[in-house]
Structure 1
Amino acid sequence: MMIRMAQVIGLKPEEMEEYKRLHADVWSGVLAKIHDCGIRNYSIFLREPEMLMFAYMEYHGDDWEADQAKMAADPETQRWWAINEPKQAPLDTRAEGEWWAPMEEVFHVD
């Protein structure tokens, strides 16, 4: 099964250069865990001057919740998130418990 997913979040302007630097050289263990959890074709885009980031990924797996729990339990991923999450600015309109706000797919063509 393959599911396309998109998410949005803000980025603190004063953190932009460091966030870009970190993502230009993502730790190999984090990349391996992303792959291990069934995520493929993962991209993050930045829209300036609004400082909005858009993430797109494809999930190739059978249990999103279990794969997300496995990722969240990974110590290296936890360290990565601890560095990067303070640089992000979640949307005020996100649902309770969300960090990146999911987006609805309204059109797709192959």
Structure 2
Amino acid sequence: MRHFLALDLKDDPALIAEYEAYHRDIWPEVRAHLHSHGVTAMEIHRLGTRMVMLMETDDARYDAQAMALATRTDPKIRQWEELMWKFQAPTPWTPEGEKWTAMTRIFCL
């Protein structure tokens, strides 16, 4: 299954460059966390401060709630998420306390 999510970055060129540098070589624990929860592929694209993530998952293994729980309880993943929040900002449509927000498909050819 494919999931499209959106998130903003803080409007600071130095922070954006640092954020992109972290994503050129993500921590091995983050990579393992994603794979262990059924994420088979992931891309993040940016235009200005808006980011869109394409996440592909194996439906037999992917459980969004289990992945979210692991994100909150694994110390290394929490450390990564806290570090990333230095750069990230919620979109105007992001519910309070959340980060990446699912997008609604409005067209498919």
TM-score interval, smaller chain:
0.7 to 0.9
In structure 1, distance between residues paired with 2:63 and 2:89: 28
Q: Match for residue 31 of structure 1?
A: 31
1:89 Cα offset (Å): 1.2
Amino acid at match of 2:34: I
Q: Is the 8 A contact 1:41 1:58 kept in 2?
A: yes
In structure 2, distance between residues paired with 1:93 and 1:52: 12
Question: Which consecutive unaligned segments of at least 5 residues does structure 2 have?
Answer: none
1:81 Cα offset (Å): 0.8
Q: How many residues align?
A: 105
Residue pairs, 1:10-21, within 5 angstroms: 10-14=8-12, 15-21=15-21
Q: Match for residue 104 of structure 2?
A: 104
Q: Match for residue 71 of structure 1?
A: 71
Distance 1:101 1:64, change over 3 A: closer
> Partner of 2:55: helix, strand, or coil?
strand
Report percent identity of matched pairs.
29
In the superposition, the TM-score normalised over structure 2's length comes to 0.84
CA-based RMSD of the aligned residues comes to 1.7
1:71 Cα offset (Å): 3.0
In the superposition, the TM-score normalised over structure 1's length comes to 0.84
1:87 Cα offset (Å): 0.7
